[in-house]
Amino acid sequence: MSLLFKVAPESGHQSVFQPGENGIRWLGLEVLRLAAGEKWDGKLGANEEAGFVILGGNATIAVSGKSEATYENLGGRNDMFSGLPTTVYAPRGSSVSVKAASKLEIAIAKAPCDLDLPVRLVKPEEVKVVSAGMANWRRDVRLLIPPGSPISRRMIVGETINPPGNWSGIPPHKHDTINAVENILEEWYLFKINPAGGYGIQIMDHGGEERAHIIHNDDVAVLLGGYHPTAAAPGVTVGYLWVLSGDDKAYNITTDPRFGWVPAAEAVLRELKH
């Protein structure tokens, strides 16, 4: 089963969903929007970690607790389409203070955590960018907290930018079963659309039935099972912040056998380019 949410247009702090709500066990999402000079103070639960991803704007972020750090003049991109992200990892039980130096939007990804880890800053120049796929399923994948990273206990975090008319998540994959090749990982996508009035399409599983949903700016898809590719409408760039979390952080997935031809097609297309 999968779920759709909408981030409200209001400024300030809002909880979209928390771990344990709506059948979601391993993930939470909050959004923080501040005007220049405004400040927000928050506190993580004793067994809760968070990643603060700057979607747009500049800020000072201070984290205090068993591990402490203050980072000034973070961010700088106007939005997801104009630069690479900055991320601050806050360990469980931390107090976090955010002060906006400009109009600011931050996504706060949350997950259960049973380990004490250090505060970490992931600068834009540390984000690995991968050009994935070929032809009309080529997209840019930005790895903020990649699989295998020691930065967080449970979370894998990234962004994807779909060029106009292109697909991502091809070949389609899933991570809703525990077996020799697959691991259960919940996932959410927070969508940004350029231009903002455009739209994309998100394939989601509903009790074993695949459905296509039109997605708009600030929609959130929570993917609890099934294959989940994404498409951008012609003339529209679709970006989304994505976060995965589960009992085991291993990124083990199963690809859709209906798209088993994709790797061979990509190899041929790469050869033709040369």
- Phi-psi group of 215: left, alpha or beta (phi > 0 → left; psi -120 to 50 → alpha; rest → beta): beta
pLDDT digits 0-9 by tens, 143-174:
999 999 999 999 999 999 999 999 999 999 99
Q: pLDDT category, 273, cuts 50, 70, 90?
A: confident
Chosen CATH of 2-273 out of 3.40.1280.10, 3.40.190.10, 2.60.120.10, 1.20.58.220: 2.60.120.10
**Structural domain spans, the chain:** 2-273
pLDDT, one tens digit per residue, over 70-107 is 999 999 999 999 999 999 999 999 999 999 999 999 99
Q: What is the DSSP string of 23-53?
A: T--S-EEEEEEE-TT-EEEEE--TTEEEEEE
**Phi and psi of 39, rounded to 5°?**
-135, 150
Residues 222-261: pLDDT tens digits?
Answer: 999 999 999 999 999 999 999 999 999 999 999 999 999 9
Parallel/antiparallel/unpaired status of strands 219-223 and 186-194: antiparallel
> What integer pLDDT is reported at residue 1 of this predicted model?
65
> By the 8 A CB rule, do 104 and 32 touch?
yes
CA distance 23 to 224: 9
- pTM of full prediction above 0.95: yes
DSSP 270: H
